[in-house]
């Protein structure tokens, strides 16, 4: 409570909080502005039958269920980021920009991701609109009306990307993550209301299971996110003039979950990618696009295969993102330049190899935890037939992780001002 009061008593922090709240409010307003010509009953039935689109609707904050102008959410930007990250493994120039040019290089890399988002959003909008027309969710559109809707939806995705950048600039959380967070949280009141209206005493064990699972997931996410392996670091003494520098002991914290919620988002994007390709095929043949969509939907309906692939992708992307953001050899070089070393380990290459082995082992626990939490609702549905928990695990994981990250950044801002 003291930190909460202190937060609003600090003028610049209060301004940042209000700016972020205002930007999120703008996002919620745009998420209920629909494109014209919608059959809401057909749309609701279509989203209910399609698990991945229903899942995507959660992360778009209900924008997809309204077919709003921001119906794609931040999906195109996330897809563009994944493509750019993969391209760094193919093109040395991109890898040099991302890793060796510091903040300027990362800013340029993000700018290229922004450029790539525009054509991806346009292609996805075209394919998705054709899919909705084939399912009679949308009325048949003339060429001019179709072009108008594609431009509106693409502009909506670019607008959300811009909002995310504005939120990130406030330095109290990642903008894209906060947009996803607000989308998930926005559906909570409606979920609670629906559960109360449809309450059935015979389903009391289901509600209790949901509450227990939620508490366990929240506790587990906090435990894993806060868990870290501390590597002791010693600094050699150096004499400069009449002064002695170094000789201190410190530690290098290696987090159990270095990647945060990014692997979950990446895995969802990959699972949506086949449907995205099927939608793009509408450029070639609408009938082929419909058949491919049916094939993808049959694959999704197989809960065992879908859960196994989801689990594997989360584990894979946890290692991938950790490898992208944590370079043991580069950290080893920085330690050596500053006169630091790990006791019992030679500086240079041996230290980098040691840090690589440690981060691989700690990441294993974080990756398995993320994978289990991601597929836990599906496993529950397979074993018990409970539909209520179909997306609870991942949604709770993202909400809690983003909340912890925002709290951590706010604490750092408060600590900085106390120090000043």
Of all residues in the chain, the percent with pLDDT exceeding 90 is 5
Identify the pLDDT of residue 159. 93
Other beta carbons within 10 angstroms of residue 230's beta carbon come to: 10
- Quickly list H helices, 227-285: 262-280
C-alpha span between 226 and 366 (Å, rounded):
11
Query: What is the pLDDT averaged over residues 100-125?
Result: 84
Cβ atoms of 84 and 109 within 8 Å: the answer is: yes
Would you place residue 391 in the very low, low, confident or very high pLDDT band (cuts 50, 70, 90)?
Answer: very low
C-alpha span between 300 and 294 (Å, rounded):
10
Superfamily the domain 11-196 falls into? SecY subunit domain (1.10.3370.10)
Cα dihedral value 353, 357, 358, 361, nearest 10: 170
Identify the pLDDT of residue 381. 67
Query: What are the backbone dihedrals phi and psi of residue 230, each rounded to the nearest 5 degrees, phi first?
Result: -95, 115
Mean pLDDT of the chain: 78
Domain ranges in the chain are 11-196
pLDDT in tens, 323-336: 877 878 878 888 88
pLDDT in tens, 72-111: 888 788 888 878 877 877 777 777 777 666 677 778 888 8
- Quickly list H helices, 227-302: 262-280, 286-301
Grouping H, G, I as helix, E, B as strand and the rest as coil, residue 285 is: coil
Other beta carbons within 10 angstroms of residue 128's beta carbon come to: 24
pTM here? 0.76
Query: What are the backbone dihedrals phi and psi of residue 250, each rounded to the nearest 5 degrees, phi first?
Result: -145, -170
Write the burial class of residue 111 (CB in 10 Å: 0-12 exposed, 13-18 middle, 19+ buried).
exposed
Identify the pLDDT of residue 193. 75
C-alpha span between 101 and 107 (Å, rounded):
10
Other beta carbons within 10 angstroms of residue 305's beta carbon come to: 11
């Amino acid at each position: 409570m003291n930190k909460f009061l202190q937060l609003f008593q600090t003028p610049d922090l209060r301004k940042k909080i209000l700016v972020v709240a205002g930007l999120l409010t703008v996002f919620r307003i745009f998420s209920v502005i629909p494109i014209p010509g919608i059959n809401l009953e057909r749309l609701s039935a279509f989203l209910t039958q399609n698990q991945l689109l229903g899942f995507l609707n959660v992360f778009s904050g209900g924008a997809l269920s309204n077919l709003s102008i921001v119906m794609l959410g931040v999906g195109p930007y996330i897809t563009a980021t994944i493509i750019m990250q993969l391209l760094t493994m193919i093109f040395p120039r991109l890898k040099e920009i991302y890793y060796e040019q510091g903040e300027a290089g990362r800013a340029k890399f993000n700018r290229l991701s922004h450029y790539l988002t525009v054509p991806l959003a346009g292609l996805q909008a075209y394919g998705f609109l054709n899919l909705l027309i084939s399912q009679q969710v949308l009325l048949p559109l003339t060429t001019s009306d179709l072009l108008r809707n594609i431009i509106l939806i693409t502009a909506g995705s670019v607008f959300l990307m811009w909002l995310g950048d504005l939120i990130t600039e406030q330095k109290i959380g990642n903008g894209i993550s906060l947009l996803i967070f607000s989308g998930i949280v926005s559906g909570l009141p409606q979920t609670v209301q629906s559960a109360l209206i449809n309450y059935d005493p015979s389903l009391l064990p289901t509600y209790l299971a949901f509450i227990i699972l939620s508490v366990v997931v929240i506790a587990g996410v906090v435990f894993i996110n806060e868990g870290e392996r501390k590597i002791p670091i010693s600094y050699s003494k150096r004499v400069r003039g009449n002064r002695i520098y170094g000789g201190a002991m410190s530690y290098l914290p290696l987090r159990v979950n270095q990647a945060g919620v990014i692997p979950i988002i990446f895995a969802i994007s990959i699972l949506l990618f086949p449907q995205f390709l099927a939608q793009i095929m509408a450029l070639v043949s609408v009938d082929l696009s419909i058949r491919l969509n049916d094939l993808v939907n049959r694959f999704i309906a197989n809960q065992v295969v879908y859960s196994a692939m989801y689990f594997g992708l989360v584990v894979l992307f946890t290692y991938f993102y950790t490898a992208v953001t944590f370079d043991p050899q580069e950290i080893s070089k920085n330690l050596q330049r500053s006169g630091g070393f790990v006791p019992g380990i030679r500086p240079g290459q041996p230290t980098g190899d040691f840090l690589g082995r440690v981060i691989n082992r700690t990441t294993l626990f974080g990756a398995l935890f993320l994978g289990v939490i991601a597929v836990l609702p599906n496993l529950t549905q397979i074993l018990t037939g409970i539909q209520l928990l179909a997306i609870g695990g991942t949604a709770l994981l993202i909400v809690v992780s983003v909340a912890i990250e925002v709290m951590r950044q706010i604490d750092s801002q408060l600590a900085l001002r106390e120090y000043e």
